[in-house]
Amino acid sequence: MKTKRGVCAGIVFFLLFICGCGQQNGRSGDNLEIKNGDTIARQLTEDVSMNAVVQIPEAGLDSVERCTVRNQWFNGKEMAERAFPQIPESEWDYPDNTGQGISSSALYEGNLNIKEGGEAVPGMIYLGPGINISTDRSQAARNCFKHAILGIRISDIHSQKEFAFASIEEAAEEVDHYWQEITGLEGAAFFCAFSVSHEAILEEQEIMLKIEEEVGADYPIDIYEWDETDDCYDIRMELLVNGIPLTADPMLREDGIYVPSGEIRAIYTSDGIVNLSYALGSYEILKKDSVDLVSMDVLFEALEKKFSMMITGKTEIDRMQMVYYPIPLSPDLEVREYDLVPAWRFWFKTGEMMNCFYINAITGEEIVS
């Protein structure tokens, strides 16, 4: 009898051990229950609550892989021929940037037909290594945005108002479609967007002119008479790699290594997309590895640890998104090879301020730049 009891006890212990390990493994634990649009609710500390909408890849968490990639700059001449066949080759310039390691760039300066059947307007297209497409008017508006950011007035010009010509969701979908059309890449995921009224743009332009009069400016300011046709959405998207957004946050780590950004930026008006910019090229996937993701319990522990060391006041985490966080494989900027690590991005709001941070989805540790 003692032998049978010992065997039974050993089997029970073995099963408990296997189950216990399974709870820490995202592929056999509670992460399998997470779906797009789910809400995770939990009180983390006395002041910090979690009521987060989940955003994960369409294929689910079992599809998540760690990737090694190489950044490849766009070939400007090839993209010009493929994406803009309506512009004659004779109207393109091909700057020689081989000294900067850029194999081919293409520049067009002239009239752009932004809206089908609409009037052509002055603008430019610059392709390789990244993408920059803009009307002159939209670029002047963007300069106002940049100036507002430098003056910490961005909250004064940004709002969540939606205009009659399109919703933010409709505008973002059009940006994604256009991005795929001109690049041939898999797509772009929505990051954030704000509406900017023509009154706000005009006000910022007046501030810029006043500063120019008082202290001068590094470059002349293009002055426009802004009207309601300039009401726009300032949209930020994220490049999709292997079905997962590459974080739009550019960073310089403490060790001085630059972490690239997957940000695609667009300005959308009643005429459609009038400005599109992206700094880098595409990413060639060199290797994929299956990974085990930590469970929600491990994530809860990491969140409680983080906020227990912070004085935030009343705070709510309202989104958790699966993204790729790029880790450079070399301090040499010319190498441009990265590990794309699956990470959870948590958005939290304290007062009127929105912030985010990243937790490594494989180790459960916060990623600190």
pLDDT in tens, 320-358: 999 999 999 988 877 889 999 999 999 998 876 778 899
Query: What span, in angstroms and rounded, lies between the C-alpha atoms of 262 and 188?
Result: 9
Tell me how many degrees the CA angle 168-169-171 measures, rounded to the nearest 5: 65
Report the pLDDT value the prediction gives residue 5, as an integer from 0 to 100. Answer: 42
User: Taken in order 180, 185, 186, 187, is the CA torsion positive or negative?
Assistant: negative
The alpha-carbon radius of gyration of the chain (Å, integer) is: 24
- Of residues 139 and 117, the one with the higher pLDDT is 139
- Of residues 201 and 251, the one with the higher pLDDT is 201
Average per-residue pLDDT in the chain? Answer: 84
Quick: pLDDT tens for 58-98. 888 999 999 999 998 899 999 999 999 999 999 999 988 76
Quote the DSSP letter at residue 187. Answer: -
Strand pairing of 121-127 and 131-135? Answer: antiparallel
Query: What span, in angstroms and rounded, lies between the C-alpha atoms of 8 and 234?
Result: 65
Report the pLDDT value the prediction gives residue 127, as an integer from 0 to 100. Answer: 94
Quick: pLDDT tens for 9-49. 443 333 333 333 333 333 434 555 788 999 999 999 999 99
Where is average pLDDT lowest: 20-29, 72-81, 231-240, 275-284?
A: 20-29
Q: Which CATH class is domain 24-67+286-367?
A: mainly beta
User: Taken in order 119, 125, 131, 135, is the CA torsion positive or negative?
Assistant: negative
For 280, other C-beta atoms within 10 Å of its C-beta total: 20
What pLDDT band is residue 369 in, cutting at 50, 70 and 90? low
Report the pLDDT value the prediction gives residue 4, as an integer from 0 to 100. Answer: 40
Please answer whether residues 250 and 259 qualify as being in contact, where contact means their C-beta atoms are separated by less than 8 angstroms.
yes
**Segments making up each domain of the chain, as ranges:** 24-67+286-367, 130-280
- Of residues 96 and 253, the one with the higher pLDDT is 96
Residue 324 to residues 64, 90, 205, 227, 285, Cα–Cα distance (Å): 10, 40, 37, 40, 13
Residue 360 clears pLDDT 60, i.e. is over it: yes
Q: What average pLDDT score do residues 109-130 get?
A: 88
Residues in the chain: 369
